[in-house]
Amino acid sequence: MTDAFEHRVLIMAPTARDRELTAALLSEEGIDSCVCVDVDEICAEYERGAGCIILTQEAVLQDDRQCLHDLLEDQPAWSDVPVILLTPPTADHSFILKRLEMVGHMTMIKRPVQYGNFISTIRAALRDRKRQYKIRAHLADREDQAQALQQAVEKANAANVAKSDFLANMSHEIRTPMNAILGLSSILARSQPLTSLQTKYIETLNQSSESLLMLINDLLDIAKIEASGIEIKSIPFRLDLLLREIADMMASKAEEKSLNLSLDLDHIQGRSFLGDPARIRQIVTNLCSNAIKFTVQGHVTIIVTSKDKTGDLCEVAISITNSGMGISPEKLSKIFDKFTQADNTISRKFGGTGLGLAISRTLAELMNGSISVTSDIDKGSCFVLQLPLMDNPHMASEQPSMPRLAEVYRASGKVLLVEDFEANVLVAHTLLEQFGYEVDHAENGRIAVEKAKKCRYAAILMDVQMPVLDGYSATRMIRQNEAEAGDVPTPIIGVTAHAMAGMRDRCIQAGMNDFISKPFVASELQKKLGNVHRAE
């Protein structure tokens, strides 16, 4: 139905004379009307729009084909056309009501009609109808708004996914040359002789690339958080060992500033929990490095307390306190916002992006925990990471490990380096030679598969993303060839510049034994390859 004639009254009076008289009456009152001779015509006119229908009881009773019934029943949800039913003085109302029970909006007027009553009933019906049209317009607006909102949400989601993809790709592209910078600077640092100035240049080069890498990692985390792509794990781990490791890692930085770094693990000594050690490490490392960064002299203290709750649940609180500059109350509420630093001069003086605390708090919340802070200006700050952790009485404290290289090792001094990026070939080649290996090189997966058929390598260092044939497919083919030939599998270590979760699983699924992410430090690669030697 269109709303072209939404104010029009459709009339079906008992006789032609009645119809004309009614039309003339309405016209005098300024009401637009349309005279219909039977039910079919009412139905046809209704399709063009109607403000109100005046019907007679006879018409309803004669509606054998149920046209009127169907028309009134089919009305849209927002609409219920007012019907004024003219009945003879002795009408059987209950019978008529039964025929018209589908009409929600009916008023009966006995004939002969009272002029005033009749007109005011029509006006009331038209007013009702007007309100219905207003509601329809309102609903249509709401629907448009909801649709626009939905489109905006879809667009924003798509933009977010595109942004995350972009960041993941950029991070891969940046990590790849970064591996060369870090690798070559560590190779240079070990080359002799070096003047003290050259050593300083190399150290600065190294520090700058490490800061750049930290920035990329932070940006990637933010992107993952915004795209809800962070997965929290629940695996067995020893919290005391994890915190000791972090403290050991931080010790040299604290020492450089002559700070006293202490660790109190009494409450959780020897206890194993279920949780996400990688994420807890990330938060605690961030809080500790901030504590060291913002302390000029004095101490940094890490204290862990625990409270057993119902069942196996334990509430662990890791507090990191530092003497130092402190944070003013007005800045305290802002430091957890992205890209916010308590003092704008900080980034120049101490470095940092203002992302660490925002990431840490979100990660803590994803683990159903929280981070709180108290601080006194010129006295120091205390950050507390509170986490509910499940006790793991079965002490499977080691993380599920990769298939041990040791089990599959074949002694030989040649490593196949599969890598397409020339600068990284130079880094890995040099490092491998320094470790004492002979090195063979393949610049893509296909060549690697061919080489692995002909030679029995001590290990294969397999980049996962390469042209022609990627590292996953190459590994699958190598494993298949080995199975067909009945050969002992060659240890394959996947190398990837992707920092996304799930890379480790992808490598294992493809048949690799271990995995290292770029940029790697020399000792890390040596350790991975060293596992092989220990088993000899």
- Per-residue mark of binding to ligand ADP, 347-376 (x: CB under 6 A): -----xxxxxxx------------------
Judged by CB, which is closer to ligand ADP: 97, or 377?
Answer: 377
Q: Which of 282, 381, 490, 496 binds ligand ADP (CB under 6 A)?
A: 381
The continuous run of DSSP H or E covering 33 comes out as strand 33-35
Q: Please tell me whether residue 465 binds ligand ADP under the rule CB under 6 A.
A: no
> Rule CB under 6 A: is residue 301 a binding residue for ligand ADP?
no
- Rounded to whole angstroms, the Cα distance separating 167 from 475 reads 27
Phi and psi dihedrals of 460, rounded to 5? -120, 130
Q: Which of 247, 335, 459, 493 binds ligand ADP (CB under 6 A)?
A: 335
- In the bound state with ligand ADP, the residue whose beta carbon lies nearer, of 361 and 429, is 361
Selected range binding ligand ADP among 81-89, 345-353, 363-371, 449-457, rule: CB under 6 A: 345-353
Q: Following CA atoms 135, 141, 143, 146 in sequence, which dihedral angle do they give, to the nearest 10 degrees? A: -140
Of residues 233 through 272, those in contact with ligand ADP by CB under 6 A are: none
What is the smallest separation between the CB atom of 380 and ligand ADP, expressed in angstroms?
7
Interface segment toward ligand ADP; rule CB under 6 A; list 69-77, 122-130, 318-326, 494-502: 318-326
Among 46, 118, 273, 294, indicate the residue that binds ligand ADP (CB under 6 A). 294
Question: CA-CA distance, 292 to 263, in Å (whole number)?
Answer: 14
CB-closest chain residue to ligand ADP: 352
Check residue 324 for interaction with ligand ADP (CB under 6 A). yes
Give the C-alpha separation, 371 to 368, whole Å. Answer: 11
The reply to whether 327 sits near ligand ADP by the rule CB under 6 A is yes
DSSP per position, 248-282: HHHHHHHHHTT-EEEEE-GGGTT-EEEE-HHHHHH
Of the ranges 190-198, 262-270, 321-329, 388-396, which one interacts with ligand ADP (CB under 6 A)?
321-329
Q: Answer yes or no whether residue 325 interacts with ligand ADP by CB under 6 A.
A: yes
Residue 54 has which token pair?
């005046």
Site for ligand ADP in 472-501 (CB under 6 A): none
- Is residue 445 within 8 A of residue 433, CB to CB? The reply is no
Cβ of residue 316: shortest distance to ligand ADP, in angstroms? 20
Residue pointed to by tokens 């991975």: 528
Which of 442, 445, 441 is CA-nearest to residue 432? Answer: 441
Peptide bond preceding 14: is omega within 30 degrees of 0, i.e. cis? no
Question: Sign (positive/negative) of CA torsion 364, 369, 375, 379?
Answer: negative
Binding site for ligand ADP (CB under 6 A): 286, 290-291, 294, 322, 324-325, 327, 335, 341-343, 346, 352-358, 381
